[in-house]
Amino acid sequence: MITVPIGNSRETIVIADNVLRHFAVHRQVRFWQREAGGLLFARVSPGVISIEEATGPRPTDRRSRRSYEGDRSREQCEIDERHPNGLHYVGDWHTHPERFPKPSSADDSAMSARVTASTHQLRGLLFAIVGTAPPPDGLALFLHDGRERLALRQAEGVACATS
C-alpha cells in the first residue's frame, strides 16, 4: 500500500497492494513491451480516496512502445459496471519505458482533455504513470484539474508493498 497526501488539503490517496501489483505486471521492462494503461477506481470517503482497482489494458486499446490510447467505449462500460458497487472512476494510469517517468506534452494534453470531458464531483482526476523502476520510485502521480497538474508525493514513513 502507498499513501499519498493531496497537497496541503489534509486529504490522502491510498493505493491498494492489488493495484500496485497490477501496475508491476505491466511495467515496460523489456525493449519489446508496449505501453499499457487503464482506469483507476476508488471508494471515496471524507478525507480519503482509496484506489481499489485498476483496469486495462484491453485488447481493443491502441498501444505502441511510446504511446497508449484506451478504448473509450470499453472504459465507459467499466465505469458504468463499477459505479453501482460504490467504486468511482477517479483517474487513469499508463506505463512509460523509462525508470522514473515524467509526463510528456501529449500526456498533459490528454490529462486536461480527460478532466474537461468527464462528469464528476472531484476537484480533479488522478493520473499515474508507471515507469520501469519499482514503486514508489518508478511511480509518478499527478492530480489534474483541467488547467494545472499537481505532482503528488508519497507520505514519509509509509511502507510500500509491491509483492
Q: Is 3.40.140.10 the CATH number for 2-152? A: yes
pLDDT at 149: 85
Report the alpha-carbon distance of residue 142 to residue 37 in Å, rounded: 15
The domain ranges of the chain are: 2-152
Task: Read off the pLDDT of each residue in 28-45 and give the average, rounded to a whole number.
Answer: 94
Do 16 and 25 contact (CB within 8 A), yes or no?
Answer: no
pTM score over 0.95: no
- Is the pLDDT reported for residue 84 higher than 90? yes
Cell numbers describing residue 88: 468511482
- Give the separation between CA 149 and CA 52, rounded to whole angstroms: 23
Q: Give me the pLDDT at residue 121, please.
A: 66
Mean pLDDT for 61-82 is 93
